Amino acid sequence: MIDAIDIVKKFDDFTVLDGVSLNVKKGEIISVIGPSGSGKSTLLRCLNKIEEIDEGVIRIDGEQLSRHNCSKLGMVFQNFNLFPHMSAIENVMEAPVIVKKMGKKEARELAGRMLSDVGLQDKADSYPGQLSGGQKQRVAIARALAMKPEIILFDEPTSALDPELVGEVLGVIKKLAAEHMTMVIVTHEMAFAREISDRVIFMDKGKIVEEGTPKEIFEDPEHPRVQAFLKRMM
């Protein structure tokens, strides 16, 4: 579904992604872990065409990534990125109306269903400022789902949340997993990554240092940097 080959991304002289290759198959759930500054967010932003790559190729379903097919990828950000002046349902309707030119009535019905799916049917008319962090993140997930993406990229979806709100967001992601949604999840929630992933990727300094099944990475990591990172995290 996603085929990224030898991606290089630089900011001025600084190489943030140094030849990263990643293949994601339909229905697969991949967790990306690694220290801060290792390039995890930049990788997702390149996959979603928020950032342009300097070298390499990204293909979606065999076609080169472009502004025409990048809406096959949904994205959920650490800080929600909701429009503060729009209600929850308006946030969810926005992209179907603007990008897909869907009629407002149809988009509102769709958005209502998406909010129900994340357990927020009664918050449709609330504004982001009236919602908890966990509720905001669930609106952001509903907003991504409203575009019917083939894959959702999550960038530390629970890192900005108070601990007691993490579970409700992880619960929604687990529900998507049970529905076989294809997902790439950058996370510091090691127990969650271990439970949900088909494959775990460890990044450091712009490279994939090690990848494997959750069992391989968490029980028997080969690379000393992975061992040291996991020791700190667990």
Report how many residues bind ligand ADP under the rule CB under 6 A: 9
Residue of 23, 25, 26, 37 interacting with ligand ADP (CB under 6 A): 37
Residue of 9, 30, 32, 41 interacting with Mg ion (CB under 5 A): 41
Q: What are phi and psi of 163, to 5 degrees?
A: -50, -35
Residue of 39, 128, 149, 157 interacting with ligand ADP (CB under 6 A): 39
Nearer to ligand ADP, 11 or 83 (CB): 11
Taking CB under 5 A as the binding criterion, the range among 19-27, 40-48, 101-109, 111-119 that sits at the site for Mg ion is 40-48
Taking CB under 5 A as the binding criterion, the range among 38-46, 109-117, 131-139, 189-197 that sits at the site for Mg ion is 38-46
Q: Which residues of 194-227 are buried (b: 16+ CB within 10 A; e: fewer)?
A: bebbebbbbbbebebbbbbebeebbeebeeebbe
Min dist. Cβ of residue 39 to ligand ADP (A): 4
Q: What are phi and psi of 111, to 5 degrees?
A: -65, -40
Min dist. Cβ of residue 40 to Mg ion (A): 5
- 11 touching ligand ADP, by CB under 6 A: yes
- 16 touching ligand ADP, by CB under 6 A: yes
- The alpha helices in the chain, defined as continuous H runs, are 40-47, 88-98, 104-117, 133-145, 163-178, 190-196, 214-219, 224-233
∠ Cα 81 84 88 (to 5°): 85
Taking CB under 6 A as the binding criterion, the range among 34-42, 55-63, 108-116, 191-199 that sits at the site for ligand ADP is 34-42
- Subset of 142-171 contacting Mg ion (CB under 5 A): none
CA distance 195 to 187: 12
Min dist. Cβ of residue 84 to ligand ADP (A): 23
Nearer to ligand ADP, 46 or 141 (CB): 46
Residue where the block lists tokens 């030849």: 19
Neighbouring C-beta atoms of residue 101, cutoff 10 Å: 8
What is the number of H-type helices and E-type strands within the chain?
A: 8, 10
* Cα 178 versus chain centre, distance: 16
Q: Which residues here bind ligand ADP, judged by CB under 6 A?
A: 11, 16, 36-42
